[in-house]
Structure 1
């Protein structure tokens, strides 16, 4: 479109002068008037950038935001223009001083929000002290590194602003978490666990605070963790902000601007609570622009679930989940390409995102997709697994297996909900698929029927002679069952020469986190069960997370199998080996 970069940059000035309110005639006159200094020190580009954050990003940060032959930038979407406008109004205009955006993963909230806003605010000295807060310190440090590299290497900024960051001059602070600029402004990045209160640069408290992915998974996991996170912020921010200076009813200096950018993770998570505050102005975006609706029976229907289970997408889904077809994924993609124009749907960032990619992500884990992409926390508590791939047991046994193990999760309480022990004989096939050759919920309470519990393991070891590894959860018996199994194996003429390795490890990882790792593999049919083991697979399909499920034995032991089988090795010793450790 443009012959060279200079022509492109001139067009940007021409376009954005009109966007900020100048007529075409006034725009041309201004460009002619400043023709000797369009892009130089405090030239026309500098002046226009002060009036428009969007122009600042598209010209001064063009290597990041403007698609060119020598970069990987994607065309910006309307949502990005709106983010920049809201931030500009909050920092220098009449907008609310506490604004937030709930955005889908992959929208570029850190680049378009945190990164762009911070650089703009400090280049023009709109803000003196910016505090960037994120869930962990390494993320905070990355923000500082990216901002530092931009100020040191960006030729457009240095030409128009001069040298704003001098990392060689020891008079200025320049380290992994703090940057002090030659225009006497300061940026600091901290983790959400660090206090905001008490921080100052000279006499200035932070006058721009950005909460970018301010919460971690640990902050969301339990009710007490969520409450602790909210209380810490509420108590902390009161003593961290700079109050507005008002004289004779007129604001002489704006107070601290707070910007919150994140993703909803729970109905009572930090961002869910923040957006309900009357003093904050929030906007919630969803990635797929399909709305819920009420049907003829006056029932509320999730629009996304309905869309992806009707019409051409229903046909696509049937092909995708036909696990008897080894080429089900390739065939589903081919079906999409044959009907591509008819299978398009509106996306928040249509200039960059792909309908096929997002549909596949939805089918892999609908609940996670609705949370991460649709900002829909109502889906929390829904069933995690939408399908279970099955074959007849005799069909499964026709495959060639590379590794085989037995995984056991003992039931050990007197409660009615814990009277089943889960046993799973699983193998890795030479086709790289995982097979639960026998998965059962045996009505054995390991604490009251200990011998029967051990005996069932022996029975399975004899039935499946390929088993070389047994995993037993250690939390229940602290190794006593593993020791008894070892003794039983050594007393059995057939088993004692099998070199069976017993792994007996405590579960320390959150169970929901562990089970969530197998969702995409389950929904893509990469873990296959026997049709006969219906009770077991039914429990998997009913799982909604620990908090919302009566039973979790089947999905838990399946996750152990799926995550461990890749690392199974045969021991060289002829005696059973017990491995104790922490998982």
Structure 2
């Protein structure tokens, strides 16, 4: 049985249980027991070889590893105890910053030169030295820590709590104003209550640069009433005239806020002349998986924050799971990241002089 379980098999407790029951009640009974006659084995029993990746602490593969009935071999690509500590230490953090410097056209060369200049301090043991180079391993980790820890380290802890954001890249907001963007949207996650222990209303104004990088031009965390929240959205639409879409989670106000914002837009002479689309949908996806899926983009600086929004990105750095602390900022940024490439931009149709055709 090769690669017997996938992500769909660990999303719920029922899915995990179903995978185990299928193995125990169906697959195992397809095999034969060994046959002995007069103390001699005359027919071997069926042998099951199961290859797979650990995807959760209680997934099918994890349960088999803990079951003493089975012999198990667990291998990890990098032979260190804490892969996160390794790639966030002083040397590898400097390498990451050099490699993902979007302003330096020689970023890759400079980063590799930095590694070879400090190879004695940066090299680490791997399972197959002739197959994996430390730089290649590091780039795989920075690109997708979740996938790396699953596929390369057989480590499921990143899916079940714990930090997944270790660094954010920031630049001054005034510096962002000089960047060429090809699309800009606003994502909103509302909260009703405003008590100390309640969630925040989070608003993220983000743009995509022509190089594909994401820029969080303004990140807000607020505890405000309904009217103040609507007023803030309208104010941001005026502050950022290039905004074309507002993505609002429907779960909280059931669409009432989207209707009120649309009403305010229609009544405003400045905003009513713009093509602003409001998308108001229920959030059905697993929030924690969605947030952790963007960890590589934030850790390697592909998603860049305004330096002034310290409270906003610090909440992301503190994220350890949906059941610990707040996930408001991370939620709106992940929604922005997943939506920005998909939105359709309606461009103004311009006519040409009739004489140009003749």
Deviations 1:253-295 (A, max 9, x none): 11111111011111111111001111111111111233x3xxx
How far apart are 1:457 and its partner, in Å? 1.0
- 1:552-571 superposed matches below 5 A: 552-571=327-346
Aligned to 1:515: 291
Are the structure 2 counterparts of residues 457 and 318 from structure 1 closer, same or farther at C-alpha, using a change threshold of 3 Å?
Answer: closer
Is 1:435 the counterpart of 2:215? The answer is yes
In structure 2, C-alpha distance between the alignment counterparts of 1:224 and 1:248, rounded to whole Å = 45
In structure 1, C-alpha distance between the alignment counterparts of 2:163 and 2:94, rounded to whole Å = 22
- 1:22-33 superposed matches below 5 A: none
8 A Cα contact 1:385 1:522, kept in partner:
yes
In structure 1, C-alpha distance between the alignment counterparts of 2:226 and 2:84, rounded to whole Å = 45
In structure 1, C-alpha distance between the alignment counterparts of 2:24 and 2:194, rounded to whole Å = 43
8 A Cα contact 1:501 1:570, kept in partner:
no
**Residue 125 of structure 2: SS of its match in structure 1?**
coil
Deviations 1:124-174 (A, max 9, x none): xxxxxxxxxxxxxxxxxxxxxxxxxxxxxxxxxxxxxxxxxxxxxxxxxxx
Aligned to 1:234: 24
**Residue 341 of structure 2: SS of its match in structure 1?**
helix
Aligned to 2:141: 362
Are the structure 2 counterparts of residues 515 and 311 from structure 1 closer, same or farther at C-alpha, using a change threshold of 3 Å?
Answer: closer
Aligned to 1:406: 186
In structure 2, C-alpha distance between the alignment counterparts of 1:311 and 1:423, rounded to whole Å = 33
How far apart are 1:337 and its partner, in Å? 4.5
8 A Cα contact 2:144 2:293, kept in partner:
no
Are the structure 2 counterparts of residues 364 and 573 from structure 1 closer, same or farther at C-alpha, using a change threshold of 3 Å?
Answer: closer
8 A Cα contact 1:308 1:314, kept in partner:
yes
8 A Cα contact 2:192 2:226, kept in partner:
no
8 A Cα contact 1:245 1:251, kept in partner:
yes
How far apart are 1:545 and its partner, in Å? 3.3
- Select the residue among 140, 144, 151 that pairs with 1:372: 151
Aligned to 1:539: 315
In structure 2, C-alpha distance between the alignment counterparts of 1:324 and 1:371, rounded to whole Å = 32
Are the structure 2 counterparts of residues 309 and 523 from structure 1 closer, same or farther at C-alpha, using a change threshold of 3 Å?
Answer: closer
Are the structure 2 counterparts of residues 267 and 462 from structure 1 closer, same or farther at C-alpha, using a change threshold of 3 Å?
Answer: same
Deviations 1:279-326 (A, max 9, x none): 111111111233x3xxxxxxxxx3x44544557546534534667756
In structure 2, C-alpha distance between the alignment counterparts of 1:285 and 1:331, rounded to whole Å = 33
**Residue 338 of structure 2: SS of its match in structure 1?**
helix
Aligned to 2:227: 451
Structure 2 unaligned runs (5+)?
350-358
8 A Cα contact 1:454 1:481, kept in partner:
yes
**Residue 260 of structure 2: SS of its match in structure 1?**
helix
- 1:123-202 superposed matches below 5 A: none
How far apart are 1:327 and its partner, in Å? 4.5
Are the structure 2 counterparts of residues 501 and 307 from structure 1 closer, same or farther at C-alpha, using a change threshold of 3 Å?
Answer: closer
TM-score (norm 1): 0.55
- Select the residue among 276, 300, 303 that pairs with 1:527: 303
Aligned to 1:56: none
8 A Cα contact 2:57 2:156, kept in partner:
yes
8 A Cα contact 2:146 2:293, kept in partner:
no
In structure 1, C-alpha distance between the alignment counterparts of 2:215 and 2:90, rounded to whole Å = 32
In structure 2, C-alpha distance between the alignment counterparts of 1:308 and 1:524, rounded to whole Å = 11
In structure 2, C-alpha distance between the alignment counterparts of 1:415 and 1:372, rounded to whole Å = 42
TM-score (norm 2): 0.86
In structure 2, C-alpha distance between the alignment counterparts of 1:557 and 1:408, rounded to whole Å = 6
Structure of higher CA gyration radius: 1
In structure 2, C-alpha distance between the alignment counterparts of 1:334 and 1:479, rounded to whole Å = 53
- Select the residue among 154, 167, 175 that pairs with 1:395: 175
**Residue 26 of structure 2: SS of its match in structure 1?**
helix
Structure 1 unaligned runs (5+)?
1-210, 293-301, 575-583
Are the structure 2 counterparts of residues 312 and 561 from structure 1 closer, same or farther at C-alpha, using a change threshold of 3 Å?
Answer: closer
How far apart are 1:573 and its partner, in Å? 8.9
Is 1:551 the counterpart of 2:326? The answer is yes
- Select the residue among 200, 203, 225 that pairs with 1:423: 203
Aligned to 1:273: 63
Deviations 1:154-209 (A, max 9, x none): xxxxxxxxxxxxxxxxxxxxxxxxxxxxxxxxxxxxxxxxxxxxxxxxxxxxxxxx
Are the structure 2 counterparts of residues 495 and 265 from structure 1 closer, same or farther at C-alpha, using a change threshold of 3 Å?
Answer: same
Is 1:493 the counterpart of 2:269? The answer is yes
**Residue 275 of structure 1: SS of its match in structure 2?**
helix
**Residue 272 of structure 2: SS of its match in structure 1?**
coil
How far apart are 1:537 and its partner, in Å? 0.4
In structure 1, C-alpha distance between the alignment counterparts of 2:4 and 2:114, rounded to whole Å = 41
In structure 2, C-alpha distance between the alignment counterparts of 1:438 and 1:313, rounded to whole Å = 29
How far apart are 1:414 and its partner, in Å? 7.8
Q: Which has the higher contact order (CA 8 A, sep 6+)?
A: 2
